[in-house]
Amino acid sequence: MDSAKYLASLGRGVAIIGSQWGDEGKGKLVDILASKYSTVARGTGGANAGHTIVVEGKKFVFHLLPSGILYKDNICIVGNGCVIDIETLLKEVQNLKDNNIEITNRLFVSDRAHVVFDFHKEIDGFQEDQKGDSKIGTTKRGIGPTYTDKISRSGIRIADLYNTEVLTSKLTSLLARNKKVYGFEANLDEYLVKYQSLAAEIKPFVTDTVALLHAKYNETNSAGVLFEGANATFLDIDHGTYPYVTSSNATVGGLLAGTGFPPTYMTNVIGIVKAYTTRVGAGPFVTELLDDLGEQIRAQGHEYGSTTGRPRRCGWFDAFVVKISSQINGFTELNLTKLDVLKGVGALKIATAYKLNGKNLSSLPMFDSEFENIEVEYIEMPGFDEDISNARSFEDLPLAAQNYVLKLEELVGVKIASIGVGPGRDQMIFR
Ligand code: GDP
Ligand code: IMO
Ligand code: MG
C-alpha cells in the first residue's frame, strides 16, 4: 500500500501513542500524517519529550511544539494538559524562523496550560538528589514539580501571567513555600519581570485551544485532527512502572483530557512500537541487554536521548507489555519502528510472558523486588543481515524480517499497519 492509500484509510480523530517507555519514533509518524491533517495537537507532558523528524537529511527535534509544524499551512496546538517551559518554546520558534519556517497565526498555546518556572526545575533537581540511590532519572525539566503544583491547585496557568494581581499573589505564596520547604531564596520582582516579559513574547500564540480545536475539527473539508502523544504508556503516572514514571497521563486518556477532545470522536489510536525496547532513566526493564548485544543495538539505533543525550538502555521486544499497552489505549493499529536497526543482530528474542513464583502474570508487578524475580519467557526468531533501509513494500523485506513482523503482530494482537526502516520521512512501509 502506498502512503496516500494509508492516509485515506484514517478517520477524523487520530492519536499517536508511545506504547513502551518512550522514544519509539512518535515524531516521525506525526510528521508523515501531518501531510493530511492540517491541525495537530499535543496535550500531554512538556519539554521532557524529544521528538525527532528527519526531512531530506535535515534533523529537527521538538520538545514542546507539535511535530506537524514543518508543513507551512498546518495549525499546531499545545493543549491545556501540557506544561510549558516558555524559554524552550521560544527557542523552538526561533529555530524554525532560522530555517525560514513561518509560524505566525499557526502556533497556538492553551491559556489553561500550566507554566514551568525556574524553581520547578530546581525542585526537580533537589528531589532527585534527595532520593540518593533510588533516583528516577528525570529529565530535570521541572515536569513533576509543575504537575504537582497543578494538582495541588496552586499552579500558575498561562492566562495568570497576564493578570498582575493574580500572578503576584500566586508567585508570592509559591516562593514562600519554596523558601520554607526547600530553603530556596528567590526575588519576587525578578520573577515577575522575567515571566511577564516571556508572557509578552508568547502573547500572539495564547488562546482558548479547546474552542480552536473544535472549530478546526468542524471546518468544511477538515480532515480532522491529529493528536501527538508524548512520553509513553509505561511512563504514565497511573499505568506505568510507578514510581519510575513521568507525572502525567501519557496514555490516550491523558491526550483527550489534555486537549478537550471527546473520546467518541477518536477514530484511530495508533500505538508506536519500537522493534526492540529502550528506556532512559531508572526503573524496571526485564528484557534489558546488559551485554555487547545491548551495546550493538544502542550503536546501530543511535540510542541516545533526544532531550538529555543520555544513553538509552536497550533490550528485546516485550510483547507482554505491549499487549497491556494495547489494552489500556485500545490501539486500532501499530506503527513498528526501527526494524532496520536489528540488521546483523543475530537471532531475535521476543518476551511473551512473565512468571512470578511459577505463576503467569496478567499485569505488571507492583514492586522492584518482584520485578527482580520475574522469569521472562522468550521465543526466538531467525534474524536478518540485509540492509532494509531502502525497502518500501512488505515484500521487499527479507523473509526473516517479514516473519518477525508477523510474529509481533500475532503476539500483540493488533495489525502492524506501517513499518519504519530508517529515520527519514520517506523510510516507511505501509501495509
Ligand atoms: P519519539 O520521542 O517517540 O518521537 O522518538 P525520538 O525522536 O526520541 O527517538 C526516535 C529516534 O529514532 C529518532 O532519532 C528518529 O529519527 C529515529 N527513527 C524513527 N523511526 C526510525 C526508523 O524506522 N529507523 C531508524 N533507524 N530510526 C528511526
Ligand atoms: P518522548 O516523548 C523517554 C522519562 C525520564 C524519566 C521519567 C521521568 O520523547 O518519548 P520526567 O522528566 O518526565 O519527570 O522524567 O520519564 N521520560 C522519557 N523517556 N522519552 C520521553 O519522551 C520521556 N519523557 C519522560 O527519562 O525516566
Ligand atoms: Mg523522544
**Which candidate, 286, 287, 293, 259, places its Cα nearest to that of 79?**
259
Predicted confidence at residue 423, as pLDDT, reads 97
For the segment 400-424, the average pLDDT, to the nearest whole number, is 98
CATH of the domain at 181: 1.10.300.10
Distance from residue 306's CA to the centre of ligand 2 (Å): 10
My answer on whether 77 and 131 are in the same domain is: no
CA atoms of 333 and 188, how far apart (whole Å): 50
My answer on whether 268 and 404 are in the same domain is: yes
My answer on whether 91 and 201 are in the same domain is: no
Best residue for ligand 1 mutational test, from 21, 23, 24, 28 (most atoms within 8 Å of Cβ): 28
**Which candidate, 188, 232, 213, places its Cα nearest to that of 110?**
213
Residue nearest to atom 23 of ligand 2 (CA): 231
Per the structure, the complete domain to which residue 161 belongs is given by: 114-205
Alpha helix locations (H) across 186-251? 188-202, 209-218
User: Residue 203 gets which letter from DSSP?
Assistant: G
Whether 169 shows a pLDDT value over 80: the answer reads yes
My answer on whether 340 and 289 are in the same domain is: yes
Q: Is the peptide bond before 243 cis (omega within 30 degrees of 0)?
A: yes
CA atoms of 167 and 137, how far apart (whole Å): 31
Instruction: Say if CB 63 and CB 92 are below 8 A apart.
Output: yes
| Identity of the residue numbered 385 | D
Q: Which residue, 163, 179, 205, sits at the end of a domain?
A: 205
For the segment 131-141, the average pLDDT, to the nearest whole number, is 94
For ligand 1, what atom is nearest to the CA of residue 305?
8
pLDDT, greater one: 309 or 350: 350
CATH of the domain at 418: 3.90.170.10
My answer on whether 83 and 119 are in the same domain is: no
- Phi first, then psi: give them for residue 379, nearest 5 degrees: -115, 160
Best residue for ligand 2 mutational test, from 246, 277, 279, 306 (most atoms within 8 Å of Cβ): 246
pLDDT digits (tens, 9 = 90+) for 289-343: 999 999 999 999 999 988 888 999 999 999 999 999 999 999 999 999 999 999 9
Distance from residue 204's CA to the centre of ligand 1 (Å): 32
My answer on whether 399 and 302 are in the same domain is: yes
My answer on whether 282 and 382 are in the same domain is: yes
Predicted confidence at residue 159, as pLDDT, reads 98
My answer on whether 282 and 174 are in the same domain is: no
CA atoms of 153 and 46, how far apart (whole Å): 19
Q: Which ligand is nearest to the CA of 127?
A: 2
For ligand 2, what atom is nearest to the CA of residue 230?
2
Predicted confidence at residue 257, as pLDDT, reads 98
Whether 193 shows a pLDDT value over 90: the answer reads yes
CA atoms of 177 and 174, how far apart (whole Å): 5
For the segment 338-366, the average pLDDT, to the nearest whole number, is 97
Instruction: Say if CB 232 and CB 51 are below 8 A apart.
Output: no
My answer on whether 119 and 105 are in the same domain is: no
Catalytically active residues are 23, 51
Cβ of residue 28 lying under 6 Å from some atom of ligand 1: yes
Predicted confidence at residue 208, as pLDDT, reads 98
Distance from residue 8's CA to the centre of ligand 3 (Å): 27
Q: Which residue, 150, 174, 205, sits at the end of a domain?
A: 205
My answer on whether 424 and 371 are in the same domain is: yes
Domain count, the chain: 2
If DSSP codes are grouped into helix, strand and coil, which group holds residue 89? helix
Whether 287 shows a pLDDT value over 90: the answer reads yes
pLDDT digits (tens, 9 = 90+) for 18-37: 999 999 999 999 999 999 99
My answer on whether 214 and 151 are in the same domain is: no
Instruction: Say if CB 327 and CB 264 are below 8 A apart.
Output: no
CA atoms of 47 and 32, how far apart (whole Å): 22
Termini Cα distance of the chain: 5
Q: Which residue, 166, 186, 205, sits at the end of a domain?
A: 205
My answer on whether 302 and 393 are in the same domain is: yes
pTM comes to: 0.98
